[in-house]
């Protein structure tokens, strides 16, 4: 059948199993939006307040579901507004297809109205990108985009479509959806060497990252940990892979990780790094990291091997498939002396003190977990609240803690929470934990949550300051609080009302409990402002480039 480029765009989305996309209309995408009008029975479009919010929403949707998030924006500023969202997804290997309109092919390169070279701009922050020059290429390029986004190490792909390509017609041949298959190919000798390293280790240690969640390898990982009795530390991107309360789960590792995990990685004789990339927030000092240990790395991306830390052996492959092949070769083992040592460290881990008179972050988060239950989907922004959420949420499910890890994007939260709420379909509570700094960045998306009646419960840790930057200023800049105390006078309850949402303000845990219980019942967005002391810190903390010896505990 002969179809316009715009109809082909809609047909391929449907063919690829897309039923929801996020975006914002504009001149260059009028034809695409006209197709969405026609295909509205098959494709649900969520219009946000700003393209950045749409990009984060597609990202949040993808993180929560494992499906590819789709975002659509017009040319020029529409496209550039996606950039932070695409970079956020790229750094955390989130599968996303971003589609931008562009001016017509005859206007390209002439500084036409709302023209930018978005393919050039996004080259370093996408897995790949395409400019569609002819309508005949459109269907296969879109198919390739979905395939690339989901194959191997996942990530965002951008497809830029000039306006005349969306109106031109060509023959469209439907194709069945082909799920990308990744086949892990490992030599027996490579697996045997890895197993040998595990089987001869006296003090093994698992350090797991987002790749474990992306590969859906939680079960295999737990099986390995149990079989060979290996304690586990997780990075922020792997929160929820191991259950809170699992005795082998030692907790978060890295800059704001607990003492035990950071101590254990230093004392271990074998570190198994699985689906993780030794970022500078974990391997704070690449030379010192795991300095007594042999390192065995499992990752799907060969370029991650020996990038930040030199490893002794690596298995390049899908984490799940690799662990499945490795498991039969691993001996059942117990490491009583090592585990005893680990337990002794755990007894000394930092624990914040409760306070009956004021709201403390760990108590608020404890209350959230208690009331929201194990099904909750958590989303955060970036800053102190993000670290408190990582540390104190009782993570029990993978894909249930959506946070900007690699890029550290303040303002990620509200958009991502929209995507999470769309994915949750009202079946799971969506809790967005933010700070007053991050919330101000993209609170405009509250209008979207109101329009679509998305029950996002936002908890704002309001300490009146940019707490994380201020904490660094306190520790390393002689308490010179440059531009971290903005003296904002925002009335969060009134702002909520203005948007058509509901706002609460709490100064005590009792007030918070009743507000949060109310919020969970609401059918639209709610936010709760929690008044927090401006000197609350994220503890423990290892300074950038430091080691466990430099850990700050107060």
Partner 1 sequence: MPREVLSILVDNHSGVLTRVASLFGRRGFNIDSLTVSATDDPEISRITIVVHDDAKVLEQIIKQTARLEETREIFPLNAAHSLLRELLLVKVAADEANRSAIREIASIYKAKIIDLSIGSMVMELTGEPEKIDGFLDVLSPYEILEMCRTGITALERGGIQRHD
Residue with smaller CB distance to partner 1, 211 or 467: 211
Task: Pick the catalytic residue from 47, 114, 307, 518.
Answer: 114
428 vs 15, 381, 395, 482, CA distance in Å? 28, 19, 15, 41
CA distance 455 to 446: 11
Residue with smaller CB distance to partner 1, 153 or 259: 153
Task: Pick the catalytic residue from 163, 263, 502, 537.
Answer: 163
- Using rule CB under 8 A, residue 263 touches partner 1: no
- Using rule CB under 8 A, residue 118 touches partner 1: no
- Using rule CB under 8 A, residue 127 touches partner 1: yes
For residue 338, what is the DSSP state? H
- Within residues 20-79, the interface with partner 1 by CB under 8 A covers none
Task: Pick the catalytic residue from 113, 171, 292, 370.
Answer: 113
Closest to 299 in 3D by CA, of 154, 96, 94, 196: 154
Given a contact cutoff of 8 angstroms between Cβ atoms, the answer to whether 42 and 14 are in contact is: yes
**Mutual angle of helices 384-392 and 467-476, in 10-degree steps:** 100
- Using rule CB under 8 A, residue 303 touches partner 1: yes
φ/ψ of residue 500, rounded to 5: 90, 20
Q: Is the torsion defined by CA of 472, 478, 483, 484 positive or negative?
A: positive
- Using rule CB under 8 A, residue 306 touches partner 1: yes
Smallest gap from Cβ 272 to partner 1, in A, equals 21
Smallest gap from Cβ 326 to partner 1, in A, equals 23
φ/ψ of residue 163, rounded to 5: -60, -40
Smallest gap from Cβ 77 to partner 1, in A, equals 23
- Using rule CB under 8 A, residue 302 touches partner 1: yes
Smallest gap from Cβ 137 to partner 1, in A, equals 11
Tokens of 113: 């109205």
Smallest gap from Cβ 149 to partner 1, in A, equals 11
Which listed residue (307, 313, 335, 534) binds partner 1 by CB under 8 A?
307
Smallest gap from Cβ 547 to partner 1, in A, equals 22
Residue with smaller CB distance to partner 1, 144 or 243: 144
CA distance 360 to 245: 22
- Using rule CB under 8 A, residue 238 touches partner 1: no
46 vs 95, 100, 156, 264, CA distance in Å? 18, 16, 19, 46
Binding-site size for partner 1 (CB under 8 A) equals 15
Helix (H, G, I), strand (E, B) or coil at 202: coil
Interacting span for partner 1 (CB under 8 A) from 204-212, 267-275, 297-305, 503-511: 297-305
130 is catalytic: no
CA distance 381 to 82: 17
- Return the residue matching tokens 């009583």: 336
Which listed residue (21, 64, 255, 305) binds partner 1 by CB under 8 A?
305
Residue with smaller CB distance to partner 1, 152 or 352: 152
544 vs 233, 273, 284, 285, CA distance in Å? 19, 21, 6, 8
CA dihedral (20, 25, 31, 34) in degrees, to 10, reads: 60
Which listed residue (40, 106, 292, 310) binds partner 1 by CB under 8 A?
310
Smallest gap from Cβ 160 to partner 1, in A, equals 11
- Using rule CB under 8 A, residue 161 touches partner 1: no
- Using rule CB under 8 A, residue 128 touches partner 1: yes
Do the strands 526-531 and 456-462 form a parallel or antiparallel pair, or are they unpaired? Answer: parallel
H/E segment holding residue 69: strand 69-73
CA distance 136 to 361: 56
Given a contact cutoff of 8 angstroms between Cβ atoms, the answer to whether 400 and 430 are in contact is: no
Helix (H, G, I), strand (E, B) or coil at 33: helix
- Using rule CB under 8 A, residue 106 touches partner 1: no
Residue with smaller CB distance to partner 1, 144 or 349: 144
Given a contact cutoff of 8 angstroms between Cβ atoms, the answer to whether 470 and 450 are in contact is: no
- Using rule CB under 8 A, residue 120 touches partner 1: yes
Which listed residue (91, 119, 138, 221) binds partner 1 by CB under 8 A?
119
Which listed residue (1, 123, 177, 544) binds partner 1 by CB under 8 A?
123
CA-based radius of gyration for the chain:
24
- Within residues 162-221, the interface with partner 1 by CB under 8 A covers none
163 is catalytic: yes
Task: Pick the catalytic residue from 11, 51, 115, 304.
Answer: 51
Binding-site ranges for partner 1 (CB under 8 A): 119-120, 123-124, 127-128, 131, 148, 301-303, 305-307, 310
Catalytic residues: 51, 113-114, 163, 468
């Amino acid at each position: 059948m002969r179809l316009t480029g715009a109809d082909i765009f809609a047909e391929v989305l449907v063919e690829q199993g897309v039923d929801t996309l996020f975006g914002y209309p504009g001149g260059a995408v009028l034809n695409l939006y006209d197709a969405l009008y026609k295909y509205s029975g098959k494709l649900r479009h969520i219009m946000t307040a700003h393209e950045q919010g749409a990009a984060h929403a597609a990202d949040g949707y993808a993180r929560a579901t494992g499906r590819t998030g789709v975002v659509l924006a017009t040319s020029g500023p529409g496209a550039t507004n996606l950039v932070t969202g695409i970079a956020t997804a790229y750094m955390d290997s989130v599968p996303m297809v971003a589609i931008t309109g562009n001016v017509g092919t005859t206007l390209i390169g002439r500084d036409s109205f709302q023209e930018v070279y978005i393919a050039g701009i996004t080259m370093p922050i996408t897995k790949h990108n395409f400019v569609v020059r002819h309508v005949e290429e459109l269907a296969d390029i879109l198919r390739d985009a979905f395939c690339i986004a989901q194959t191997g190490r996942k990530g965002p792909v951008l497809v830029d479509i000039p306006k005349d390509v969306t109106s031109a017609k060509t023959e469209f041949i439907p194709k069945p959806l082909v799920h990308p298959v990744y086949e892990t190919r490992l030599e027996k000798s490579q697996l045997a060497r890895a197993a040998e390293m595990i089987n001869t280790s006296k003090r093994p240690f698992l350090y797991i990252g987002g790749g474990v969640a992306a590969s859906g390898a939680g079960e295999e990982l737990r099986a390995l940990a149990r079989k060979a009795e290996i304690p586990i530390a997780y990075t922020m991107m792997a929160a929820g892979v191991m259950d809170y309360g699992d005795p082998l789960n030692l907790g978060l590792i890295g800059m704001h990780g607990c003492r035990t995990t950071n101590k254990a990685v230093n004392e271990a004789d074998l570190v198994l790094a699985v689906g993780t990339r030794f970022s500078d927030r974990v391997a704070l000092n690449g030379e010192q990291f795991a300095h007594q240990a042999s390192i065995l790395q499992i990752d799907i991306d060969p370029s991650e091997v020996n990038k930040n830390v030199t490893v002794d052996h690596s298995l390049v492959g899908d984490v799940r498939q690799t662990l499945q092949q490795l498991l039969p070769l691993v001996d059942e083992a117990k490491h009583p002396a090592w585990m005893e040592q680990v337990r002794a460290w755990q007894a000394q881990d930092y624990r914040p003190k409760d306070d009956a008179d004021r709201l403390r972050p760990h108590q608020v988060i404890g209350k959230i977990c208690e009331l929201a239950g194990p099904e909750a989907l958590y989303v955060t922004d970036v800053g102190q609240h993000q670290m408190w959420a990582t540390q104190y949420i009782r993570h029990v499910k993978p894909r249930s803690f959506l946070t900007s890890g690699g890029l550290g994007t303040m303002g990620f939260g509200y958009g991502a929470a929209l995507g999470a709420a769309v994915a949750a379909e009202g079946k799971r509570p969506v809790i967005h934990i933010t700070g007053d700094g991050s919330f101000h960045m993209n609170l405009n998306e509250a209008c979207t949550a109101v329009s679509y009646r998305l029950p996002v419960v936002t908890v704002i840790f309001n300490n009146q300051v940019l707490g994380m930057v201020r904490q660094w200023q306190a520790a390393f800049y002689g308490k010179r609080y440059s531009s971290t105390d903005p003296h904002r006078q925002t009335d969060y309850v009134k702002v909520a009302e203005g948007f058509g949402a509901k706002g609460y303000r709490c100064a005590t845990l009792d007030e918070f409990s009743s507000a949060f219980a109310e919020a969970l019942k609401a059918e639209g967005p709610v936010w709760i402002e929690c008044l927090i002391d401006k000197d609350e810190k994220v503890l423990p903390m290892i300074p950038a480039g430091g080691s466990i010896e430099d850990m700050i505990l107060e």
